[in-house]
Amino acid sequence: MIVMKFGGTSVEDAIAIRRLVSIVRSQLHRRPVVVVSAMGRTTNGLLECSRMAAGGDTLSAQNRLDEIAAHHFKTAGQLAPPEEIESLREALGRRFIAVRAALEEIGQTGRITPRLSDAVSSNGELLSSVIVAAAFRAEGLKGVWVDVRPMMRTNDDFTRAAVQFEIANPELKEGFNAALADGGVPVTQGFIGSTADGVTTTIGRGGSDYSTSIIGAATGADEIQIWTDVDGIMTTDPRIAPEAAKVKIISFAEASELAYFGAKVLHPSTLLPAMVRDIPVRVLNSRRPEVEGTAIVRQSPPSRAVVKAIAFKRGITVINVTSDRMLMAHGFLSRLFAVFDMHETSIDMVATSEVSVSMTLDDTRHLDAIVADLRGLGEVSVERDAALICLVGENLKFTPGVASRIFSSIEEINVSMISHGASAINVSFIVDGGSVERAVKSLHCEFFSELDEETFEAAALAQTVA
Ligand code: ADP
Ligand code: ASP
Ligand code: MG
C-alpha cells in the first residue's frame, strides 16, 4: 500500500478536490491511504478567530468563522453525492458548533490556552477530510472517513504534541489495514492526534507531512507521496527565485537538512519515520500530476551539482554571550547549554570564540527567561530578525573552493556564524533579515545558472545509468 498526502492548496476548493480524486483513482491498484490537510488558509483562519475571541472581538471572530463555514458548506454541496448532502451538512455543522464552543470559552477567559488553541485549530483537518471522503463516494469510490485521533496517540504538550510511537504505531497499522479492506479508500487527517484521555492535540504547524510519514512507517507503506503546489523539491523556494529548478533525486540526509533549515515544502520531522523504515518519499504537484516530482531516497546517485538546493529561515534570533570566564575554563559551555535545556529550547546553530558564544534560536517563547539566566554567565546581547541560509549537497564534502564561491557571490552582504557542520553536507550562515532575499537570489544564480532543469536532471540521470 501507499500513503498519499494532499496539502492545503491541494484541497482548497471543489476543483482541487476533484483533481485529488482523479490522482488517487489512477493509483487505486496500490491501495492508497489518503491524508489531508485543512483546506487552504483554514488553519490560519481558525487561529485568527481564536485571537479575535481572546481580544474580546466576538463579532469579528463570528464573522471570520462564518466565512470559513460558508466555504466548507459550498464545497461540500458541490462535491457530495446527492443522497449524502443533508448528512454531510449536519456533520460539518456539528464541527462548527464545537469550534464556537471553544471560541466562547476563549472569549470568557480572554486567554488562548494551548489546549483551547488545539480545540479550535484541529477542526480544519476534521472538516476537509469529511468532505474529501464524500467526494470519493460521489465518484464511485469507497471513501472511508477515518478519525486518526484515537490512533495517533500523543502527549499533552498541546500545539506541539509529541507522538507516542509505541502506542500509535500498532493502532495505526491495525486501523488502516481494517479501513483498506474490501477496496476501501481511507481518508484521514494530518496534523492532529489525541492524548490518553482522548483530548485533541496538534503536532505543530505544517505537521501533516509528518503525520503522513508516521502513518506510512507504521503501516509499512511501499511509498509516501506528498502532493503539494510545486513540482517537487526545488533548488530554492520558487517564491524567491522563480527560475528555481526541480531536483529530481535527493537523499534523505540532504532533504532533511533542507526541511530543518526552512524549506517549507516538507515539515522538518517528515523524513525521520520514513528513513527508519527506508520508505521512499516522493514530492509531487497536484496541479500537474503528470510531472514526475522529486524522489527522496536513501542514497542519491552521484551528481555534478555541488549544491543541490538552498534553504533559508527568517525570524531567527541570535544570542551572544561574552565572558572572560570562558578563557581556559572548562564547564562553561555545559553551564550555558543547561540554561537552554532548563527552558526546553533547542539551539539551531552555535559558533564560539575564545571569549564568546553565539547561538541561534527559532523558538523564542522563553527568550526573556533564557536571557535572564544567561546574564549569570556573562554579558548577553540579542539580535532579532536575523535569517539563516543553508546550502545543501552531498558534494559539499568533496568540492574544494566552495566556500570562496559562496561568500564571494554575496560579498556585499554581512555574514556571521558560518558553519560547515559535522554532517558536511551543508554550509549554513546568518545574515540580517533584510538581506536574505538578495543573498538567496545571488547564491542561486552562482550555483544554478548554468544548470537548467534538463541539464540538472540529465546530469543526475547519466550518473545513475553509469
Ligand atoms: P502544503 O500546503 O502542500 O503543505 P506548503 O505551502 O507547506 O504546501 O509547502 C509548499 C511551498 O513550500 C511551496 O509553495 C514553496 O513556496 C515552498 N518552498 C520553500 N522551499 C522550497 C523548495 N526548496 N522547494 C519547493 N518548495 C519550497
Ligand atoms: N493545516 C496545518 C497547518 O496549516 C497542517 C498542515 O497543513 O500541514 O499548519
Ligand atoms: Mg506544508
Residue of 273, 22, 11, 270 lying closest to 141 (CA atoms) = 22
Residue of 116, 94, 114 lying closest to 105 (CA atoms) = 116
Judge contact between 451 and 244, C-beta under 8 A. no
Q: Three-state SS across 306-344? A: CCCEEEEEEEEEEEEEECHHHCCCCCHHHHHHHHHHHCC
pLDDT in the model for residue 463: 44
- Decide: helix, strand or coil at residue 80: coil
Encoded amino acid at 332, one letter: F
Encoded amino acid at 279, one letter: I
Judge contact between 134 and 18, C-beta under 8 A. no
State how far the Cα of 81 lies from the Cα of 87, in Å rounded to an integer. 11
> Cα(236) to centroid of ligand 1, in Å?
10
Residue of 455, 454, 12 lying closest to 227 (CA atoms) = 12
pLDDT in the model for residue 450: 72
Beta strands in 91-222 (DSSP E): 143-145, 185-189, 192-194, 200-202
Residue of 460, 388, 396 lying closest to 423 (CA atoms) = 396
> Cα(86) to centroid of ligand 2, in Å?
28
Orientation of helix 42-54 relative to helix 85-109, angle to 10°: 40
> Cα(324) to centroid of ligand 1, in Å?
44
Cα torsion through 449, 451, 452, 457, rounded to 10: -150
- 22 φ, ψ to 5°? -70, -35
- Decide: helix, strand or coil at residue 411: coil
For the CA of 228, the closest atom of ligand 1 is: 3
Residue of 265, 234, 247, 233 lying closest to 304 (CA atoms) = 247
For the CA of 283, the closest atom of ligand 1 is: 25
Q: Sign of torsion, CA 358 241 284 448?
A: negative
> Cα(37) to centroid of ligand 3, in Å?
8
DSSP state for residue 434 in the 8-state scheme? G
State how far the Cα of 358 lies from the Cα of 349, in Å rounded to an integer. 8
Name residue, grid cell 543553508.
Answer: 390
For the CA of 227, the closest atom of ligand 1 is: 3
pLDDT in the model for residue 328: 67
For the CA of 208, the closest atom of ligand 2 is: 8
Residue 269's contacts (CB-CB under 8 Å, 6 or more residues apart) are: 210, 213
pLDDT in the model for residue 422: 63
- The tens place of each residue's pLDDT in the chain, 466 residues long, gives 999 999 999 999 999 999 999 999 999 999 999 999 999 999 999 999 999 999 999 999 999 999 999 999 999 999 999 999 999 999 999 999 999 999 999 999 999 999 999 999 999 999 999 999 999 999 999 999 999 999 999 999 999 999 999 999 999 999 999 999 999 999 999 999 999 999 999 999 999 999 999 999 999 999 999 999 999 999 999 999 999 999 999 999 999 999 999 999 999 999 999 999 999 999 999 999 999 999 999 998 988 889 999 999 999 999 999 988 777 678 888 999 999 999 999 998 999 888 899 999 999 999 999 999 999 999 999 999 999 999 999 999 888 889 999 999 999 999 999 998 666 899 999 999 999 999 999 999 999 987 555 445 544 554 444 3
> Cα(330) to centroid of ligand 2, in Å?
44
pLDDT in the model for residue 331: 85
Candidate from 208, 212, 227, 264 with most ligand 2 atoms within 8 A of CB, to mutate: 208
Q: Sign of torsion, CA 357 360 361 364?
A: positive
DSSP state for residue 154 in the 8-state scheme? B
| Residue 83: other Cβ atoms inside 10 A | 9
pLDDT in the model for residue 59: 95
Residue of 178, 197, 175 lying closest to 189 (CA atoms) = 175
For the CA of 310, the closest atom of ligand 1 is: 23
Pocket around ligand 1 at a 6 A CB cut-off: 7-10, 37, 206, 228-230, 233-234, 236-239, 263-265, 309
Encoded amino acid at 392, one letter: V
Q: Is 293 left (phi over 0), alpha (psi -120 to 50) or beta?
A: left
Q: Which of the ligands is closest to the CA of residue 265? A: 1
Judge contact between 41 and 307, C-beta under 8 A. no
Residue of 131, 195, 132, 138 lying closest to 164 (CA atoms) = 195
Q: Which of the ligands is closest to the CA of residue 160? A: 2
State how far the Cα of 209 lies from the Cα of 266, in Å rounded to an integer. 6
Orientation of helix 165-180 relative to helix 208-219, angle to 10°: 80
Residue of 465, 420, 457, 466 lying closest to 305 (CA atoms) = 457
Pocket around ligand 2 at a 6 A CB cut-off: 7-8, 37-38, 43, 124, 190-191, 205-208
Candidate from 5, 42, 205 with most ligand 2 atoms within 8 A of CB, to mutate: 205
Residue of 304, 291, 230 lying closest to 464 (CA atoms) = 304
Residue 34, exposed/middle/buried by CB under 10 A (0-12, 13-18, 19+)?
buried
> Cα(403) to centroid of ligand 3, in Å?
31
Encoded amino acid at 257, one letter: E
- What is the CA angle 403-409-412, rounded to 5? 115
> Cα(274) to centroid of ligand 3, in Å?
17
Encoded amino acid at 351, one letter: A
- 412 φ, ψ to 5°? -85, 0
Strand 249-251 to 294-297 pairing: parallel
